[in-house]
Structure 1
Amino acid sequence: MLDIAIDADPEWDSSDWGALARSAAEAAIAESAFPQLGRGAREVELSIRLTSDEEVRALNAEWRGKDKPTNVLSFPMSEPDELADTAGEGPELMLGDIILARGVCLAEAAEKSIPVEKHAAHLMVHGTLHLLGYDHHDDAEAEDMEAREVRALARLGIEDPYGDRC
């Protein structure tokens, strides 16, 4: 079973963030190397916090040494071998935490002329893939992660956010 803990500051509007977070996480997991996550007897959990730019700036400064807000932060709590061994029973597997910054998310959605919910879904997919061990430190990793994001977003009926590339 997949359990999503969602915590949204009051400034985030009244959208159904819980349903969106579940759909985004499930789509990302389905496009990962671990599509079995959340389908076995072992419980799998991740948390998503929708918060202010100020809180994200502080976390970004503390954990990444960058004193500015960013759109999404991910804090993985599981190792790849734990992710691969989820079909059977065992203790709950905590994937980690995803944190989205409201102001950055709103500004980016406006810049792309898309609803904030679509952009937040993209950021949740991106964050979930980070929790599953994907990254974009080099071109090959970035291409793989981006392709997984695009496929996951297609599952949600969201167009390719990278479609404007040359």
Structure 2
Amino acid sequence: MSVDVIIEDDRWGTAGLEALAERAVGATLRHVGLEPEAWEIAVLAADDARISTLNEGFRGKAAATNVLSWPSAERGALAEGMRPDLPVGDPELGDLALAFETCVEEAAAGGLAFDAHITHLVVHGTLHILGYDHVRDGDGDLMEATEIAILEALGIADPYSGNGSGGDGKD
């Protein structure tokens, strides 16, 4: 597996993001039935200002958010609550971007370990890249259950119970 981490904001340097991203992406890919070694994801570690600019440019929302994702292809399920089809062909799955200040603030506000919160956000973003979403209720239920199972396998508590790494609720 190739997780290419690009650090734009030096504050990410001490967060151990490379190892966290490798672990989270690998666990997510294995959970959905993909061999991690066959796939690639890029992760941009930026600040809130950069994420706000990206969020406005791609989503029309001029505000920072914790994680953004750009799949290399549309992979969403056609029927609500169904798992998206697994990707085939091109090993490049897509890109993620994380906002430092927002992630720090969310972890602190929730009394969460920063590494657990970042792991959750990378799992969440990777699922988006794989076609999971939470716009429709059934899709949201599936995505949440999938996140919980992946995080549990990583030893991280349910982020939606109020005792875990904190749900993102921003995208």
TM-based fold match above 0.5: yes
CA distance in 1, matches of 2:25, 2:35: 11
CA RMSD of aligned residues (A): 1.9
- Does the 8 Å CA contact 1:30/1:152 hold for their aligned counterparts? no
Gaps of 5+ in 2: 76-83, 164-171
Give the 5 Å matches for 1:3-14.
Answer: 3-8=2-7, 9-14=9-14
Structure 1 residue 57 corresponds to structure 2 residue 52: yes
Identity of aligned residues (%): 37
Count of matched residue pairs: 154
Which residue, 99, 102, 123 being the options, matches 1:101? Answer: 99
CA distance in 2, matches of 1:82, 1:140: 16
Output one character per residue of 1:31-68: Cα deviation in whole Å (capped at 9) or x when no partner: 32xx12335xxx31001111100000000000000010
**Which residue number corresponds to residue 15 of structure 2?**
15
Q: CA 1:38–1:164 in 2, change beyond 3 Å: closer, same or farther?
A: closer
- The code of the aligned residue for 1:161 comes to P
Gaps of 5+ in 1: 87-91
CA distance in 1, matches of 2:97, 2:23: 16
Structure 1 residue 152 corresponds to structure 2 residue 114: no
**Which residue number corresponds to residue 81 of structure 2?**
none
Bigger CA drift: 46-55 or 21-30? 21-30
**Which residue number corresponds to residue 127 of structure 2?**
129
Output one character per residue of 1:62-89: Cα deviation in whole Å (capped at 9) or x when no partner: 0000010011000000344994436xxx
- The code of the aligned residue for 1:73 comes to L
Structure 1 residue 73 corresponds to structure 2 residue 106: no
Q: CA 1:22–1:138 in 2, change beyond 3 Å: closer, same or farther?
A: same
Q: Relative contact order, CA 8 A, sep 6+: which one is greater?
A: 1
- Does the 8 Å CA contact 1:78/1:94 hold for their aligned counterparts? no
CA distance in 2, matches of 1:158, 1:6: 22
Which residue, 83, 88, 111 being the options, matches 1:85? Answer: 88
* Structure whose alpha-carbon radius of gyration is higher: 1
**Which residue number corresponds to residue 114 of structure 1?**
112
Structure 1 residue 25 corresponds to structure 2 residue 25: yes
CA distance in 2, matches of 1:116, 1:149: 17
